[in-house]
Structure 1
């Protein structure tokens, strides 16, 4: 039983991670998975069961939301009932979104079922209320959840070694990075974006991610400000792919910086079009500014397509990007440093060519969903063996 705060069709990195690994655990390794998630849609906030990609998905209604976090005080009881009816060998919860993974840990402990926690990143905050929630979470809920876990899966050793919250649980840690579907991401370069947006010879920068208030840690504001400096040296356009409630704010910022014509807000991109975006961009940029960025899945998807990347020195990004080899790492929030890195990569044909060739090789070696599913197969079997 895999318990996650959100699941398809609500999009995001955690949802994709659960789906890609879950389908492979079921199809390749013979596991029988039930996904338990909150019912994200307010208008359909009821308990229901459906099938997505061959996975059984149970939706639990929530009572209220704190920021974008769904909460129900009845989840622990509901999860106990599900454990009683489904009889899972292992329960696997996903953090950092609080509460549902914590309820799952307590329900599993109460029913004497092994609990495996997947720890995507530390819970942080960008304003005073969310920072207060982040600081209160661990003493009130999170530390107990870590203690109840028989194993903790992190997305990289790099991130785990920097997390003060994981420092006391190193012996429990296992590692399963996000992956790339190599059948979808890769292939030949294309002029898809040039045709779609009627561009000429400009260099095409790409950002892919959420654009809402809760995703300010993505650092889009720094990339928009950097575009003003980039345009002094390069003829370039920035394609911003994603949706969210901060788009109008980012449009105003682009106008204030004098680059409204140089930034294209592409809106939501269907999953089947994403390889076309990566394969037709000259450079992907993820300017995240704090540890809420546990990995940065778009970085490895772009590298798989032979597109060099620029990330920041926060969270798990320095593990996803081999600095100087597949892309560049810059300090978070450094607008001039970000602009300089963009110009450096795009202005140096030899450096660009080497990064474009190195990216796909590194992804094949380190970042496939099959490798990560194999880790979970071992972790779940070990946990189930302990129970037996």
Structure 2
């Protein structure tokens, strides 16, 4: 069958949603025989034209945008463009992805107008990192989002844990299905390494790792709390923190480290090439994701690290408590608590038995629950069921 997947961004723009779509989409084609077309906006202004390309065997159609609100691309011409694409591509289902608003909302309306089943993948609630974006998020649901949820034949969430705590998804529980992010177990084997120790010329220090966006728009990741925690960690443990990722807020985080007196203990690694990501996870002692609001719908790096046998620490927000088995594969702590985060880090690193237990349990849990093959199989079933119900 033929499916059209609509997303605000796609490769080469990197992010959890893009990876989720790519990994599931390539498996839907290769394993289950679906024919997928990805429809996305452009990311760079200089490439802001309509164009078609192939990425990983997927046909990708990029539509120009007219302007951006924060990181949200917008075009008032998209509904007409999507109707024309639906008419020419003739998909059996359309699958939109949010939380970045507008294009998924437009896709819902275009699909409804063209009598094509619409499936919404809802990664997390739309929140905001400052007053303006929080106000935007509060206006989004009454203006666009609630209608999009209503128009969707099926809504896919990444976990029932998150859905049960979302004020927006709770209203649509009967049509909810679940497909968690996964891990490519061939790419993320449990294969311990001294890669980071050699790369940064470290000696006996324990290595802490954060991997993620470092944009001003990604302040929900809580990086500032992790940097502040390092001051307390260093009082009892010889440790270095490696912060990996790129973004427009790195200078701010450097300033936080300087103000806390830990500049010498924090390494800003920059962007990690895809082939080095497993090496980072396999050569760190502990991965930390200190997110501080519901914009963290899951935390894919948490399960990738666990697959490599690396214990993790996350916060009690969004979908993180589903990604971590508290006390078994890692620890869950309250958000926005630098002291509590430091205590959790010291506890895991200072208890060899607990550390060994978490390192052993992580790969087992990922194999049982979080593989892309399992998630693609869920999508295959949903696509076929929804298309069949409309015939």
Equivalent-residue separation in structure 2 for 1:187 and 1:317 (angstroms)? 22
Distance (whole Å) between structure 1 residues aligned to residue 171 and residue 251 of structure 2: 43
User: Displacement, 1:308?
Assistant: 0.1
Q: In the alignment, which residue of structure 2 is the partner of 1:243?
A: 246
- In structure 1, the gaps of 5 or more residues are none
Which residue does the alignment assign to 2:320?
317
The question of 1:118 aligning with 2:121 is answered yes
What CA deviation, in whole Å up to 9, does each residue of 1:345-371 have, x standing for no partner? 000000000000000000000000000
In the other structure, the counterpart of 1:218 is: 221
Task: Say if 2:51 and 2:62, in contact at 8 Å, map to a contact too.
Answer: yes
Residue 7 of structure 2 is aligned to residue 17 of structure 1: no
Q: Secondary structure at the match of 2:240?
A: strand
1:137-183 per-position Cα deviation (integer Å, ceiling 9, x unaligned): 00000000000000000000000000010111100000000000000
The runs of at least 4 consecutive aligned structure 1 residues that moved more than 4 Å come to none
1:299 aligns with 2:302: yes
Alignment of 1:197-346 (within 5 A): 197-346=200-349
2: CA distance between counterparts of 1:201 and 1:37? 46
Aligned partners of 2:310 and 2:359 also within 8 Å = yes
- Equivalenced residue count is 388
Match of 2:45 in 1: 42
SS at match of 1:333: coil
RMSD, matched Cα: 0.4
Candidates 160, 163, 169, aligned match of 1:160: 163
1:187 is displaced (CA, Å) by: 3.1
Q: Deviations over 1:301-323 (max 9, x none)?
A: 00000000000000000000000
Partner Cα distance (2:92, 2:191) in 1: 43
> Match of 2:6?
3
How far did 1:41 drift?
A: 1.1
Deviations 1:34-56 (A, max 9, x none): 00000111111000000000000
Residues 242 and 268 of structure 2 are in contact (CA less than 8 Å); yes or no, is this contact kept in structure 1? yes
Show CA shifts across 1:257-308 (max 9, x none). Answer: 0000000000000111100000000000000000000000000000000000
Q: Deviations over 1:200-235 (max 9, x none)?
A: 000000000000000000000000000000000100
Match of 1:31 in 2: 34
In the aligned structure 2, how far is the partner of 1:65 from the partner of 1:121? 20
Alignment of 1:110-189 (within 5 A): 110-189=113-192
Structure 1 distance, partners of 2:99, 2:175, is 17
Q: TM-score, normalised by structure 1?
A: 1.00
Structure 2: tracts of 5 or more residues without a match:
none
Is 2:105 the partner of 1:102?
yes
